[in-house]
A and B are shown apart, each in its own frame.
Chain A
């Protein structure tokens, strides 16, 4: 589904991302971990054509993301609050995204009905603009909005951060179901090793912009990752 080739990003002579080759097949749940500054968000931004790669390209579906815009119709993403339109209510926001993705109100309502638990009665019918919601609730809105319109690729940057424990558990359920049942390719980044190992079939570890580990998730993965990151600890060289 997604093919990264010879990708690099350099800011003022400092290379922050360098991936020679990475292939993410359709329907895979893909986890990205790494310390701050490892290049996770940079990679996702490049995937979404929000930043221009210095070299190489990313292919999403048939198209190279920086040349064609065909990928936009099957890709949904939530990176941060800049994916939220603050002056809309949650419903208006969902309908707006729905219309962009060719879904009418009824389609959107049907989808939203399935997330009643996830919203925990704090989102819908609240007569509140999104800008007045807490960060956690904004995130819930943003995450659910990515599922509107049957996307083939869903990209979530740090989806677990800022969420309360109950919602984290529910979100894990949602992501697992997505990949397993609908064949959606899910890309998730996180600092929470436990969550990622639980929901992702494959985990890629980034360090200083490069892939240092590419693991098929198994029983041993969590231990392996923990060992890796604790060894990493003395970062001061």
Chain B
């Protein structure tokens, strides 16, 4: 029976429009995955020797900070891990046992990259531990305990799909705990560290997380088994419609019509709402760079990178997928009396306004000196002037339909922000860094900043020209796009 499921998945994967049109993207994703695997492996091997060199007991230190690792894992899983969409509805009528269908769906989550990747940290780390004379039996039980912790997260994530507040809560807890520890007010790690250390010292203790993980599996299984009905777990929740008055937007003329629609689109669909949250998260991304916390990030080029990211969160996560946001009613748009220019201008205005707001909110980076904010500021200008067009242009080629109305439960396709988005973003970052480098090595950093800003302003000046080009592409891609959007999922 499992054979059938796997067969179906295989086909749906390789026959999807997205797969066939975005082979380059797949290659990028594979490279990205390899990168992370490499990082984790290095961390696994390096953690032991690095900590030892720093004069700390490696295992104990790892255990102390394990709580952050585990919570971070959960948050990342929520943000990035797409819940697998098994085409469940048609299966219900076929002679599959319902329990099998649920098993398969849950089993699919277990094989996710976001679980597997941890193996690349824990296995090398454990091997090094044994190599360094730690008791193999204890290392293995500790290892199993950790594995169980990762899977506990996996099953919690299955339930979490509709619980944004909970996740924000978790993220705040981790930030709060980190801050308290950093300022020496309260340190939670000795308590949680004792638990993780216990997993190593007490042979029996690994049974706790293992039993918990198994228990969660059972609960998740029972939960979905009970809800495997069209009007329960598999139905979309109908929310009471709210209407809002957006007439103040009318000052933007004909563009306002689309602008109003786009705002409704963002407000009323979970996928688009997540992109807004992501852009807020991006605002804080710069902290990694400007605080000097990470050594390899502490150079002017990476700061430009940060500037682009801080101000471009919405631009990348939303703009990237124009026109896919309208994929479910694209034929309507194509048969109505719509000019591409007004349609695109509305999306362009949205991303530019969002980049502008981010640039203003980024003023907080002044705390780290004027150079930090200069990077954010020119990044913002570049995003508004150049990347605003580039994302719309790139969007014409991304023909992945976005199912706004998709089932928002665990079996639905839930998170909007995925690895794909991150990867296609790369080229848009390299040009400003190159521009900066040219300035940096000729007349100095200020000239570098000026070059980026200049490029941004030039982008504005060529707006109409850029729009004409982009519209041309949208027109030539029209039929292909319609055909690809027809393919749901």
Which residues of chain A have a CB within 8 Å of any CB of chain B? 48-52, 69, 72-73, 75, 77, 79-80, 82-89, 91-92, 96-97, 99-101, 126-129, 131-132
Q: Assuming A51-B482, A52-B479, A131-B405, is B329 touching A86 (CB within 8 A)?
A: yes
Q: Which residue of A lies closest to B265 (CB)?
A: A87
Q: Does B334 contact A (CB under 8 A)?
A: yes
Across the interface, do A88 and B264 meet the contact criterion of CB distance under 8 Å?
A: yes
Across the interface, do B482 and A87 meet the contact criterion of CB distance under 8 Å?
A: no
Q: Does B332 contact A (CB under 8 A)?
A: yes
A133 to chain B: closest CB distance in Å?
A: 9
Of B330, B336, B404, B483, which is in contact with the most chain A CB atoms at under 10 Å from its CB?
A: B336
Across the interface, do B331 and A50 meet the contact criterion of CB distance under 8 Å?
A: yes
Q: Assuming A50-B482, A51-B479, A51-B482, is B335 touching A129 (CB within 8 A)?
A: no
Across the interface, do A99 and B243 meet the contact criterion of CB distance under 8 Å?
A: no
In the assembly, what is the distance between CA of A48 and CA of B479, in Å?
11
B335 to chain A: closest CB distance in Å?
A: 5
In the assembly, what is the distance between CA of A99 and CA of B261, in Å?
12
Across the interface, do A82 and B241 meet the contact criterion of CB distance under 8 Å?
A: no
Tell me which of B238, B331, B483 contacts A79 (CB under 8 A): B331
Across the interface, do B337 and A84 meet the contact criterion of CB distance under 8 Å?
A: no
Chain B residues with CB under 8 A of A85: 261, 328-329, 332
Q: Assuming A48-B335, A100-B338, is B329 touching A128 (CB within 8 A)?
A: no
Tell me which of B242, B330, B335 contacts A72 (CB under 8 A): B335
Chain A residues with CB under 8 A of B261: 85, 88, 96
Q: What 1/0 flags go to B389-421 for Cβ under 8 Å of A?
A: 000000000000000110000000000000000
In the assembly, what is the distance between CA of A84 and CA of B337, in Å?
15
Of A89, A127, A131, which is in contact with the most chain B CB atoms at under 10 Å from its CB?
A: A131
Across the interface, do A87 and B405 meet the contact criterion of CB distance under 8 Å?
A: yes
B290 to chain A: closest CB distance in Å?
A: 38
Tell me which of B239, B329, B335 contacts A50 (CB under 8 A): B335
Tell me which of B328, B334, B479 contacts A86 (CB under 8 A): B328
Chain A residues with CB under 8 A of B335: 48-50, 72, 75, 77, 83
A42 to chain B: closest CB distance in Å?
A: 12
Q: Which of B21-55 contact A (CB under 8 A)?
A: none
Across the interface, do B331 and A99 meet the contact criterion of CB distance under 8 Å?
A: no
Across the interface, do B329 and A99 meet the contact criterion of CB distance under 8 Å?
A: no
Q: Which residue of B lies closest to A73 (CB)?
A: B337
Chain A residues with CB under 8 A of B330: 82
Across the interface, do B332 and A129 meet the contact criterion of CB distance under 8 Å?
A: no
10 pairs of A and B residues whose beta carbons are closest in the complex: A132-B238, A87-B268, A83-B332, A131-B405, A72-B337, A82-B331, A127-B241, A73-B337, A86-B405, A48-B335
Chain B residues with CB under 8 A of A91: 243
Across the interface, do B336 and A87 meet the contact criterion of CB distance under 8 Å?
A: no
- Helix, strand, loop or mixed for chain B's interface? helix
Q: Does B236 contact A (CB under 8 A)?
A: yes
B487 to chain A: closest CB distance in Å?
A: 12
Given contacts A51-B483, A86-B329, A89-B241, 19 further A-B contacts (CB under 8 A): A48-B334, A49-B335, A50-B482, A82-B328, A83-B331, A86-B328, A86-B405, A87-B269, A87-B404, A88-B261, A91-B243, A100-B257, A101-B336, A101-B337, A128-B238, A129-B239, A132-B236, A132-B238, A132-B239
In the assembly, what is the distance between CA of A89 and CA of B238, in Å?
12
Q: Which residue of B lies closest to A145 (CB)?
A: B332
Q: Which residue of A lies closest to B327 (CB)?
A: A82
In the assembly, what is the distance between CA of A83 and CA of B261, in Å?
15
Chain B residues with CB under 8 A of A82: 328-332, 485-486
Q: Does B94 contact A (CB under 8 A)?
A: no
Q: Which of B285-340 contact A (CB under 8 A)?
A: 328-332, 334-338
A115 to chain B: closest CB distance in Å?
A: 19
Tell me which of B243, B257, B486 contacts A96 (CB under 8 A): B257
Chain A residues with CB under 8 A of B265: 87
A103 to chain B: closest CB distance in Å?
A: 11
Chain A residues with CB under 8 A of B336: 72, 97, 100-101
In the assembly, what is the distance between CA of A85 and CA of B338, in Å?
15
Q: Which of B459-482 contact A (CB under 8 A)?
A: 479, 482
B97 to chain A: closest CB distance in Å?
A: 30
Of B241, B335, B336, B483, which is in contact with the most chain A CB atoms at under 10 Å from its CB?
A: B335
Across the interface, do B241 and A128 meet the contact criterion of CB distance under 8 Å?
A: yes
Q: Please, could you name 6 A-B residue pairs with CB atoms under 8 Å apart, sorted by A?
A: A82-B332, A84-B329, A85-B329, A100-B336, A131-B236, A132-B238
In the assembly, what is the distance between CA of A79 and CA of B242, in Å?
28
Chain B residues with CB under 8 A of A73: 337
Chain B residues with CB under 8 A of A100: 257, 336-338
In the assembly, what is the distance between CA of A132 and CA of B242, in Å?
13
In the assembly, what is the distance between CA of A131 and CA of B269, in Å?
11
Q: Does B240 contact A (CB under 8 A)?
A: yes
Q: Which of B332-358 contact A (CB under 8 A)?
A: 332, 334-338
Chain B residues with CB under 8 A of A79: 331
Q: Assuming A84-B329, A128-B241, is B405 touching A50 (CB within 8 A)?
A: no
In the assembly, what is the distance between CA of A97 and CA of B264, in Å?
15
In the assembly, what is the distance between CA of A91 and CA of B479, in Å?
30
Chain B residues with CB under 8 A of A49: 334-335
Chain A residues with CB under 8 A of B482: 50-51
In the assembly, what is the distance between CA of A227 and CA of B241, in Å?
49
A158 to chain B: closest CB distance in Å?
A: 15
Tell me which of B264, B328, B334 contacts A92 (CB under 8 A): B264
